Amino acid sequence: MAEGAKVRRVRDLMTRDVLTASASDLLAATCSRMLERSVGSAVVVDDGRAVGILTERDLVRAAATGNLEAATVAEWMTPKPDTVGPDEEIYPAFTSLSQHGYRHFPVVEGDQLVGIISMRDMLELAQVLRVEHPGQIEARRGLEGVVVAETEVGDVRGQEGFYHYRQYNAVELAAKRSLEDVWHLLYEGHLPDAAEAAAFRDEIASLRSIPPAVKKLLPAIAIAGEHFVPLDALRTAYSLLAYTLDFKSWMDIDAATRRADAMRTSAVMPALIMALHRLSRGQEPVDPRPDLSYAANYLYMLTGEVPDPDRARAIEQYLILTTDHGFNSSTFTARVITSTGADLGSAVVGAIGALSGPLHGGAPSRALDMLDAIQTPDRAETWIRDAVLRGDRIMGFGHRIYKTDDPRSVMLRSVAERLGGSMVAFAKQVETTVVEVLAELKPGRSLYANVEFYAGVVMDECGIPRELFTPTFTSSRVIGWTAHVLEQAADNRLIRPSAHYAGPPPPRPVPELT
Residue 238 sits in the site that holds ligand COA (CB under 6 A) = no
Decide if 165 contacts 187 (C-beta within 8 A).
Answer: no
Smallest separation, CB 362 to ligand COA (Å): 8
Residue nearest to ligand COA (CB): 398
Asked if 396 interacts with ligand COA (CB under 6 A), we say yes
Q: Could you tell me the smallest distance in angstroms from the CB atom of residue 361 to ligand COA? A: 7
For residues 33 and 11, what is the distance between their CA atoms, to the nearest angstrom?
Answer: 25
Calpha distance 35→30 (Å, rounded): 9
Asked whether position 445 contacts ligand COA by CB under 6 A, the answer is: yes
Scan residues 399-428 and list those touching ligand COA (CB under 6 A). 399-400
- H or E stretch at 51: strand 49-55
Q: Which of 393, 403, 418, 466 binds ligand COA (CB under 6 A)?
A: 393
CB 106 within 8 A of CB 113: yes
To the nearest whole angstrom, how small is the minimum distance from the Cβ of residue 178 to ligand COA?
Answer: 24
C-beta closer to ligand COA: residue 147 or 494? 147
- Label the pairing between strands 41-46 and 20-21: parallel
- Nearest residue to 456 (alpha-carbon basis) of 481, 480, 429, 423: 423
Closest listed residue to residue 185, CA positions, set 476, 480, 408, 473 = 480
Q: Is 175 in the site for ligand COA (CB under 6 A)?
A: no
Kindly tell me which residue out of 45, 245, 374, 388 binds ligand COA, with binding defined by CB under 6 A.
388
Smallest separation, CB 355 to ligand COA (Å): 10
* Residue 333 and residue 351 in contact, taking contact as beta carbons nearer than 8 Å: yes
Q: Does 307 help bind ligand COA (rule: CB under 6 A)?
A: no
What would the 3-class secondary structure string for 303-320 be? HCCCCCHHHHHHHHHHHH
- Cβ closest to ligand COA, residue 117 vs residue 449: 449
The one segment of 52-60, 85-93, 446-454, 505-513 that binds ligand COA by CB under 6 A: 446-454
370 interacts with ligand COA by CB under 6 A? no
Say if CB 334 and CB 474 are below 8 A apart: no
* Residues sharing a CB contact under 8 Å with residue 460, sequence separation 6 or more, in sequence order: 368, 421, 423, 466
**Active-site residue set:** 399, 452
Strand 162-165 and strand 154-157: the pairing is: antiparallel
- Give CA–CA dist 353/232, Å, rounded: 8
CB of 301 to ligand COA, least distance (A): 26
| Interacting residues of 276 by C-beta distance below 8 A, sequence separation 6+ | 218, 221, 222, 228, 230, 233, 234, 237
Query: Smallest distance, Å, CB 287 to ligand COA?
Result: 33
Instruction: Confirm or reject binding of residue 430 to ligand COA (CB under 6 A).
Output: no
Among 34, 394, 427, 486, binds ligand COA (CB under 6 A): 394
For 312, counting Cβ atoms within 10 Å of its Cβ (0-12 exposed, 13-18 middle, 19+ buried), the class is buried
Q: Is 163 in the site for ligand COA (CB under 6 A)?
A: no
Residue closer to ligand COA by CB (options 20, 433) is 433
Distance of CA 100 to the CA centre of its chain: 42
Q: 447 to 466, contacts with ligand COA by CB under 6 A? A: 447, 450-452
Of 103, 248, 403, 442, the residue at the interface with ligand COA (CB under 6 A) is 442
Q: How far is the CB of 457 from ligand COA (least distance, A)?
A: 14
Size of the residue set binding ligand COA (CB under 6 A)? 19
Q: Which is nearer to ligand COA, 42 or 170 (CB)?
A: 170
How far apart CA 507 and CA 190 sit, in angstroms, is 56
CA distance 474 to 361: 8
Name the residues that contact ligand COA, by CB under 6 A: 358-359, 363, 388, 393-400, 438, 442, 445, 447, 450-452
